[in-house]
Amino acid sequence: MTLAFVAAGCGSTEKDTGAGLPPGFPQEPMTAQPSEDRSVEESLTQFVRESRVVDGRRVVELELENRSGVPVAFAWSVEWMDRGGERVLDLEAAWTPLHLRAGERAPLELTAPAASAESWRLVAVTLTKEG
């Protein structure tokens, strides 16, 4: 099972979880995708806790779990789609770095960028040390 997952009627701004990445890894959200390596998605599982509409926009609360036997350092972002499957522009989209030990879970909150965003996909890419 991979992290890429679409759930109808979901939300887009990411909430920082205070991940505390090891030294040498990016510590702040990034505007550019830091890597093309999506293999980390195979180690991650999502547990949607709540999905609701607030001020006309979808808000999703979920937990992301590292189900591998080793720590993983990665960055995640959200892609939002409208009813027809077209991507919804998110001017505030960012790649948020996160480090999870084996078996660890992190809470995430996603807020849709617009009322037209009805589904979403969480995307994760492997991070490597800077420098």
Let me know if residue 92 belongs to a domain. yes
Specify the number of domains making up the chain.
1
How far, in Å, CA of 59 to CA of 43, rounded?
24
Let me know if residue 56 belongs to a domain. yes
Whether residue 47 has pLDDT greater than 60? yes
Q: Would you say the C-alpha torsion 20, 78, 53, 60 has a positive or negative sign?
A: negative
Question: Per-residue pLDDT averaged across 91-96, rounded?
Answer: 95
Nearest to 99 by CA among 131, 123, 66: 66
Nearest to 123 by CA among 3, 11, 1: 3
Let me know if residue 1 belongs to a domain. no
Let me know if residue 131 belongs to a domain. no
Residue 104's CATH number: 2.60.40.3230
Q: Would you say the C-alpha torsion 16, 95, 70, 3 has a positive or negative sign?
A: positive
Whether residue 18 has pLDDT greater than 90? no
* Structural domain containing residue 58: 6-126
Whether residue 19 has pLDDT greater than 80? no
How far, in Å, CA of 102 to CA of 16, rounded?
20
